[in-house]
Amino acid sequence: MRNELMYHIPKKGLTVWRLYGLFNTLFLLILAGVASFLTYKFDWPIFIYFIAGGIVVLSAITLIWLFPNIRWNHWRYEVREHEIEIQSGLFVVTTTLIPMVRVQHVDTAQGPILKKYDLSNISISTAATTHVIPMLITNDADQLRARISVLARVAEDDV
């Protein structure tokens, strides 16, 4: 077996994922509310209530609790001298290996929610692909970005 990777995503990241899940659930709740209202108004069959309710409860369980947990557990990363290794996934666990020499540029990005929690997403681009390490403490993300760019600069590329 390959060694388990060293770094986890900060616990705060999990909270943010839960928050995203909460927003999605709220959105679904509104939809379900509209559907229920229409059902009430136009005397549509009763089972629509159950379906709408079921979807909301199910999404609450999965999006707020289950999926963020699984995802957080799977997310690992390691930035070594010659390569970056990222492990991610929900149902399918993907291990990605990016050689430093292939890295073209590194971005960090931060939305309003991430800013509130002082977190940043860092995305690593090669000539063909883009890979994201999400939810890093902003400070760490900046440092990591600087480090990758230094390491990547060591070898020049000739694609």
Partner 1 sequence: MSDNRFKLHPVTTIINFVKGLKDLLIPFLIIFAANGFNLSFNPKEEGFWAELIPLAVMTILTILYLFNGIIKWWTFVYWFEDDELRVKYGLLVKKKRYIPFDRIQSFNYKEGIFHRVFGLVQVMVETAGSTDGKPEVILTAITKEAANQIEQVTRKVKQTKMEGVLEDEDGVDILEKDSNDHQQRIILKMKVKDLIILASTSNGIGVVLAGVAAVLSQFSEFIPYERIFEEVSSLIKFGVVVVAITIFAALFIAWLISVIITFINYYDYTVIEEDERITITRGLLEKKRITIPLNRIQAIKIIESPLKQIFGYSSVVVESASAGYGEKDKKMTLFPLISKREVYNTLRDLVPAFEWEQPLTKPPKKAKPFFYRIDFLWLVPIIALSSYFWFPYGLLSILIIVPVILIGLWQYKTTGFAIKGNQLTIVYRGISRVTFVVEKKRIQAMQSKQSYFQKRKNIASVQATVMSGMTGATAKAAHLNVHDAEQVLLWFEKGVSEKTF
- Give the list of residues 6+ apart from residue 102 with CB closer than 8 angstroms, or none: 126, 127, 157
The CB-of-122 to partner 1 minimum distance in angstroms stands at 16
Residue in 78, 82, 90 with CA at minimum distance from that of residue 133: 78
Q: Which is nearer to partner 1, 129 or 149 (CB)?
A: 129
Contact positions toward partner 1, by CB under 8 A? 1-2, 81-83, 89, 91-102, 126-129, 131, 155, 159
The CB-of-34 to partner 1 minimum distance in angstroms stands at 26
Strands of 36-75, DSSP E: none
- Let me know: does 123 contact 132? Beta carbons within 8 Å: yes
- Let me know: does 67 contact 90? Beta carbons within 8 Å: yes
Tell the burial category of 46 from Cβ atoms under 10 Å away from its Cβ (0-12, 13-18, 19+).
exposed
Q: Which is nearer to partner 1, 19 or 101 (CB)?
A: 101
Q: What is the dihedral angle through the alpha carbons of 75, 13, 115, 98, rounded to the nearest 10 degrees? A: -10
Residue with tokens 């990241």: 13
The CB-of-42 to partner 1 minimum distance in angstroms stands at 24
Q: Which is nearer to partner 1, 46 or 127 (CB)?
A: 127
Q: Which is nearer to partner 1, 31 or 155 (CB)?
A: 155
The CB-of-19 to partner 1 minimum distance in angstroms stands at 26
The CB-of-97 to partner 1 minimum distance in angstroms stands at 5
Q: Which is nearer to partner 1, 34 or 93 (CB)?
A: 93
Residue with tokens 């699984």: 70
